Structures are given as structure tokens and as C-alpha cells.
């Protein structure tokens, strides 16, 4: 896109902003002509700015559109415009980061935060949309203290997994294990494993890695049968173990079983060998481990190398 085209878009944006200002000045007289038309103009300009890779201006247009929708009384459209503005501000921040010109003042992230919070205040606490917005908001400000009364299995799983990831990052492996176990037990109790196969696999692998790190004795903290399934390589036990496993592929099960036995034997070379097998891309029937799971494997190698 040429600079002249960009200048023309910005000029159109300023003209549309002036239209909005005129409307706002006369709005208190209950005379608000062409508000919908101006909202449409802002929406069209936002699309043009996005297509021109100028998300910072698109965000401003969406904000203008949101103001118009608010005057009309269209709450759903106002919230939608605010969310589009927030995401455009985040895209602008990412663009600046990629071209190595960081937004020192944090204006774009501040703009995103402001738009998210404005949208939140327009929604009831038990709204699923509010719960989803809080997720996005916490991606730019993890410490924000905003909650929603909305709760569903998928939202609960997401919250617990995210919290467990944070525990793993800080080295609080007991807390991480407890949260992942809560997910596992909840899905089992509701007998809906078929709805969450990927979640069950992630939780199973992470819990096992955490137990290998913690080396906890059988106790009320976890069902000792869980680790026992992976602790024996006797042939008469293999078929029973595999038949009782509905979460993992046979190949992944064998690898994890080898890892557990190697940890119990404190065989560092075998631990490293299994680690390499688990993380290689071409491993069939097993997706590459998550970043936190690879971190746990790294910690395992470090722990048993001492």
C-alpha cells in the first residue's frame, strides 16, 4: 500500500471522527441524525486499515463504531466493536514488537485493556462472553482481579490447566499435580472422557512426569495404582495395564512406562534416551510434548544426574 493511500485513509478517519463529534454535540437534544451511517463508516474504515496493516488505526475506528452503537442503544454491537478494538490494539503491539520498535509507553496494550474492561462492564457476571473476555484480558495482564460467575466444564478445565502451568513454571509441582488431578477426576466422574481425549492425554502425561519428579510415597495425595500401572514391565502385567489404559496410545504408554522404570532405577542414560524418544517430531501416535512437559523432562534429567 502506498503512503498516499494511507494518508487518504487517515484523512477519511478524521472526517468520520468529526461527524461523530457533531452527533455527540447535538445528541443531548434527542436529535442524532445518521448515527448508524457513521457507525458503518467507522466499520468500513477499520476493515481498510486492517487490510493496509495498520491495526492501530483500525482499533481507533472500532472504538468510534462502539461509541455510535452505544448512542443507538445496540449493546451487542457496542461490545463487539470494543472487542474488535481490543484485539486490533493487541495486533498493533505485536506488529511493533516484530519490527523491533517496541511501544515504550505501552499505549496499545493500555488501549486493549481499556476496551476489554469497557466491554466487561456492559455484561452480567454470569455471561459466557464475559468469561471468555476475562481469558483474553488475563493474557495481557495476568494479575488483573476480575472474575465471572459463569462456569462450565471447558472453562474450568482451561482455568485449572493454566494455573497448573503457572505452578510448573514456579516449581510448585505438588500444586500443579493436585490441579491436574482435579481435572482428571472431574472428567472421570462425569464419564465424558470421549469429549476430552486430548485433555486426558495431556493430564495423564503431565501427572506422571510430576510424580517422577516428586518421588512421593503412596499416600492420600494420589492413587498409588496410577503410578503402579507404569512401574512393572512383567509380561503378565502388560496386557492388564494396556487394557486399563483408555487415554494413551500403546507406543506412548510403553515410553512412559520405560521412563518410570528408569527413574526408579535412577538410570540417567535410559532417562535421557526415553526423553529423546518422547520429544522427537516423527514419533507416531504421539504429538510433540507441550513446553511445560518438555520442561519437566529436562528437570527429570537434571534431578537424576546429580
99 shares a domain with 30: yes
Q: In this model, does residue 77 exceed pLDDT 90?
A: yes
State CA 53 to chain mean position distance: 25
| CATH number, position 103 | 1.25.40
Residue 224 has a pLDDT of 60
**210 within some domain:** yes
222 shares a domain with 113: no
166 shares a domain with 75: no
Q: In this model, does residue 280 exceed pLDDT 80?
A: no
169 shares a domain with 135: no
61-66 average pLDDT score: 94
Q: In this model, does residue 31 exceed pLDDT 90?
A: no
263-271 average pLDDT score: 88
185 shares a domain with 134: no
In 3D, which of 127, 125, 46, 44 has the Cα closest to residue 87?
46
pLDDT band at 151 (very low <50, low <70, confident <90, very high): low
pLDDT band at 28 (very low <50, low <70, confident <90, very high): very low
State CA 56 to chain mean position distance: 23
pTM over 0.75: no
197 shares a domain with 112: no
DSSP 168-188: HHHT-HHHHHHHHHHHHHHHH
Total domains present in the chain: 2
120 shares a domain with 7: yes
172 shares a domain with 132: no
**By mean pLDDT, which of 23-27, 134-138, 185-189 is the weakest?**
23-27
**152 within some domain:** no
178 shares a domain with 264: yes
Between 79 and 144, the higher pLDDT residue: 79
**93 within some domain:** yes
How many angstroms separate the CA atoms of 218 and 198, rounded?
Answer: 27
Sequence-distant (6+) residues with CB within 8 A of 230 are 208, 241, 253, 256, 257, 259, 260, 261
**147 within some domain:** no
pLDDT tens figures, 115-132: 999 998 888 877 778 888
DSSP 49-88: HHHTT-HHHHHHHHHHHHHHHHHHT-HHHHHHHHHHHHHH
Sequence-distant (6+) residues with CB within 8 A of 132 are none
**By mean pLDDT, which of 168-182, 204-218, 248-262, 285-299 is the weakest?**
285-299
173 shares a domain with 61: no
- Domain containing residue 127: 3-140
pLDDT band at 282 (very low <50, low <70, confident <90, very high): very low
pLDDT band at 63 (very low <50, low <70, confident <90, very high): very high
Residue 232 has a pLDDT of 66
State CA 119 to chain mean position distance: 19
Between 248 and 166, the higher pLDDT residue: 166
50-71 average pLDDT score: 92
168 shares a domain with 136: no
Within 10 Å of residue 45's Cβ, how many Cβ atoms? 24
Tell the burial category of 36 from Cβ atoms under 10 Å away from its Cβ (0-12, 13-18, 19+): middle
Between 247 and 164, the higher pLDDT residue: 164
**151 within some domain:** no
Q: What is the radius of gyration, based on Cα positions, of the chain?
A: 26
Q: In this model, does residue 138 exceed pLDDT 90?
A: no
Residue 246 has a pLDDT of 59
Q: In this model, does residue 29 exceed pLDDT 50?
A: no
**154 within some domain:** no
245 shares a domain with 120: no
Amino acid at each position: 500500500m502506498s503512503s498516499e493511500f494511507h494518508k487518504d485513509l487517515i484523512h477519511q478517519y478524521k472526517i468520520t471522527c468529526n461527524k461523530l463529534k457533531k452527533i455527540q454535540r447535538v445528541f443531548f437534544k434527542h436529535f442524532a441524525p445518521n448515527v448508524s451511517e457513521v457507525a458503518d463508516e467507522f466499520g468500513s474504515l477499520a476493515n481498510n486499515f486492517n487490510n493496509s496493516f495498520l491495526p492501530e488505526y483500525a482499533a481507533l475506528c472500532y472504538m468510534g463504531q462502539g461509541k455510535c452503537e452505544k448512542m443507538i442503544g445496540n449493546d451487542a454491537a457496542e461490545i463487539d466493536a470494543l472487542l474488535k478494538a481490543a484485539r486490533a490494539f493487541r495486533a498493533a503491539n505485536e506488529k511493533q514488537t516484530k519490527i523491533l520498535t517496541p511501544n515504550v509507553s505501552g499505549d496499545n496494550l493500555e488501549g486493549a485493556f481499556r476496551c476489554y474492561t469497557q466491554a466487561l462492564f456492559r455484561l452480567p457476571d454470569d455471561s459466557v462472553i464475559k468469561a471468555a473476555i476475562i481469558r483474553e484480558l488475563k493474557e495481557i495482564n495476568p494479575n488483573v482481579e476480575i472474575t465471572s460467575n459463569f462456569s462450565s466444564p471447558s472453562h474450568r478445565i482451561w482455568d485449572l490447566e493454566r494455573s497448573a502451568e503457572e505452578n510448573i513454571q514456579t516449581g510448585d509441582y505438588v500444586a500443579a499435580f493436585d490441579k491436574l488431578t482435579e481435572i482428571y477426576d472431574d472428567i472421570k466422574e462425569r464419564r465424558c472422557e470421549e469429549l476430552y481425549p486430548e485433555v486426558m492425554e495431556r493430564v495423564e502425561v503431565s501427572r506422571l512426569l510430576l510424580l517422577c519428579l516428586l518421588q512421593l510415597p503412596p499416600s492420600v495425595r494420589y492413587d498409588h495404582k496410577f503410578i503402579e500401572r507404569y512401574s512393572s514391565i512383567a509380561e503378565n502385567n502388560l496386557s492388564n495395564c494396556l487394557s486399563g489404559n483408555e487415554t494413551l496410545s500403546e507406543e506412548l504408554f510403553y515410553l512412559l512406562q520405560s521412563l518410570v522404570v528408569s527413574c526408579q532405577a535412577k538410570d540417567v542414560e535410559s532417562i535421557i534416551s526415553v526423553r529423546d524418544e518422547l520429544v522427537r517430531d516423527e514419533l507416531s501416535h504421539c504429538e510433540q510434548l507441550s513446553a511445560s512437559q518438555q520442561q519437566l523432562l529436562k528437570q527429570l534429567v537434571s534431578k537424576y544426574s546429580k
